[in-house]
Amino acid sequence: ADNQGENGPSPLGSTLTDVTALRAEHERLCAEGLKLDLTRGKPAPDQLDLSTALLDLPGAAGFRAADGTDTRNYGGLQGLPELRAVWSEVLGIPAAQLITGGNSSLALMHDSVVAALLNGTTDGPAWAGQRIKFLCPVPGYDRHFAICEQFGIEMIPVAMDDNGPDVAEVKRLVAEDAQIKGMWCVPKYSNPTGVSYSAEVVAELASMPAAAPDFRLFWDNAYAVHHLTDTEVEIADVLRLAAEAGHPDRPFVYASTSKITLAGSGVSFFGGSEANVQWLLAHLSKRTIGPDKINELRHVRFLPDAKSVAEHMRRHREIIQPKFDLVLSILDTELGAVDGVSWTKPEGGYFISLDVPDGTAKRVVELAGQAGVKLTPAGATFPLGDDPRDRNIRLAPTFPKIEEVEAATRALAVCVRLAVSESAA
Ligand code: PLP
C-alpha cells in the first residue's frame, strides 16, 4: 500500500469522540460545499482511455471476420467465433457453450429470468403463475434484487461469510422448498464484499440436491479478471462441477467487458450447458436477428487473446489500486479504533463494504449527504432496500479522482464517528 503513511495524521486526532466537537467538524465540512460521489462502480475516465483504440476499430477496411463474414450485416446470433475463442480462454468456458450478447450482461440476466418466467427452462414449465423465490446472498448487488422485485419474485436473504454464501443454510432451503428456483451469485470479488467463493462452496452449490428440478444458479462472474493484488483468485469451474454432479443445466453464467473496455459499449457473455445455450438462443432469436458484430470484431482486434486481456487488466489495476489503498488506509487511521465498525479489504472487483454499528448506516449516509458526499443509499445492498440491521454501506472508489476519493473518505469518517457518538449519546 504505497499510500499508507502519506496521508498524515488524522485531522481529528485519534481520541476525538465528543459529539459536540464532531458536530462542529461536520458543520465545517458542510460549509466547504464539497461535491463528491462514491456511489456507483463506474470506471474512471482514465480507465476508459485505456480502450480509446477501440474507437478507431475495426476501421473502414477491416469489417470482415476471420471466416469472411461481413460484420456490417445481419446474423451470427451466437457471436463471432473468434471472439468466443478469446473469451472461452479467459472465462474457462468452451466456445461452443458461450453466447455473446449486447453491451450489458445485466440485460442477459434480465432476459433469462423473463424467458424462464414466460416459457420455462429446459427442465420445467413457465415460472409465471407459480410462487417463485430466489436466494439472495447479502450484502449483494442491488440490480439483481431489482430484477426480482420487478417480476414479483420473493427474495430470501442468505448471509455471506469469507468463503461465499452460508452454504449450509442454502442447502437446507433449496432441498426443502421447491418454490426456490434461483440464486444470485457473484462468485469472484463479489459486489460489494469482494469475497470469492471457495472451491468447497462452488462444489456444494453445483451438486446440492434441489427440491425444484429447474433450480438455477445465476452465476454473475462480473469481476472474472478484475484483480487488485498479485494474488489472482481463481474460482472453481461451476459448469464442469454441475455437469459432473448430474445438474448440467443448473448454472447460467454471465460476464461482460463493461469494466474491461468501455462500460457502455462492451460485449456480454452467457455460458451454459449446450442445452441452455440452445434454450437462450431460441429466445434471443425472437428479439434480435443478431448482435453488434462490428463491436465484437473490434473487441477481438483490440484484445486478441487471453494474455492481452490480462495485460490490459494490469493497467486498470495501476489506476484503481491506489484509490482502494487510500480508502483503506484512511479508514484504518480514522475508524480503526471505533467499536462496531469494520470493512472489507478486497483483492479484486470494484467495491469496499463498510459495516457501521447497527442502526447507524442510514444516519451516516444522511450526514454524508449534508456534507456533499453522495453514498449509495443505506439498505441498497439488501433485497427491497431493507438492511434489517441498518449497518451496511457500499463504497465505490474507482470513478472519482484520487484527491476526491481522499476528501470523500475523510468526510465519511467524520460522519461515521458523529453517527456513532450520536447513537451512544
Ligand atoms: N453484475 C455485477 C455484480 C455488477 O457489479 C455490475 C455492475 O456494476 C454488473 C453486473 C453490470 O454488468 P453489465 O455492465 O455487463 O450489464
- pLDDT tens, per residue, the chain with 425 residues: 333 333 444 444 444 458 999 999 999 999 999 999 999 899 999 999 999 999 999 999 899 999 999 999 999 999 999 999 999 999 999 999 999 999 999 999 999 999 999 999 999 999 999 999 999 999 999 999 999 999 999 999 999 999 999 999 999 999 999 999 999 999 999 999 999 999 999 999 999 999 999 999 999 999 999 999 999 999 999 999 999 999 999 999 999 999 999 999 999 999 999 999 999 999 999 999 999 999 999 999 999 999 999 999 999 999 999 999 999 999 999 999 999 999 999 999 999 999 999 999 999 999 999 999 999 999 999 999 999 999 999 999 999 999 999 999 999 999 999 999 999 87
For residue 94, is the peptide bond before it cis, meaning its omega torsion is within 30 degrees of 0?
Answer: no
Between 1.10.1370.30, 3.40.640.10, 3.40.50.10470, 1.10.275.10, what CATH number should domain 73-304 receive? 3.40.640.10
Report whether 391 contacts 380 (CB < 8 A): no
Nearest CA to ligand 1 atom 7: 41
CA distance 353 to 193: 5
Compute, in angstroms, the gap from residue 263 CA to the centroid of ligand 1: 9
Nearest atom within ligand 1 for CA of residue 107: 16
User: What cell numbers appear for 106 in the block?
Assistant: 445485466
Q: Which residue, among 88, 64, 10, has the nearest Cα to 305 in the 3D structure?
A: 88
* CB neighbour class for 361 (10 Å; exposed up to 12, middle 13-18, buried from 19): buried
Compute, in angstroms, the gap from residue 346 CA to the centroid of ligand 1: 17
Q: What number does CATH give the domain 19-47+310-424?
A: 3.90.1150.10
Rg for the chain, CA atoms, rounded: 23
Nearest CA to ligand 1 atom 5: 191
Task: Compute the half-sphere exposure of residue 43: CA atoms within 13 Å on the CB side of its CA.
Answer: 25
pLDDT for the residue numbered 14:
41
pLDDT for the residue numbered 17:
59
Provide the residue ranges of all domains of the chain, joining segments of one domain with +: 19-47+310-424, 73-304
ipTM of the complex: 0.99
Ligand 1 pocket mutation, candidates 100, 109, 191, criterion most atoms within 8 A of CB:
191
CA distance 373 to 397: 12
Cα-flanking dihedrals φ and ψ of residue 307, to 5°?
A: -65, -45
| pTM metric for this prediction | 0.95
pLDDT for the residue numbered 68:
96
Residue 345 makes CB contacts below 8 A (sequence gap 6+) with 194, 328, 352
Cα-flanking dihedrals φ and ψ of residue 149, to 5°?
A: -60, -40
Nearest CA to ligand 1 atom 4: 222
Nearest atom within ligand 1 for CA of residue 349: 5
Residue 238 makes CB contacts below 8 A (sequence gap 6+) with 187, 202, 205, 206, 217, 219, 251, 253
Write out residues with Cβ below 6 Å of ligand 1: 41, 104-106, 141, 186, 191, 220, 222, 256, 258, 268
Compute, in angstroms, the gap from residue 105 CA to the centroid of ligand 1: 7
Q: Give the Cβ contact number of residue 292 at 10 Å.
A: 16
The residue written with cell numbers 461481413 in the block is 70
CA distance 420 to 18: 10
Compute, in angstroms, the gap from residue 112 CA to the centroid of ligand 1: 15
Tell me how many degrees the CA angle 396-400-402 measures, rounded to the nearest 5.
105
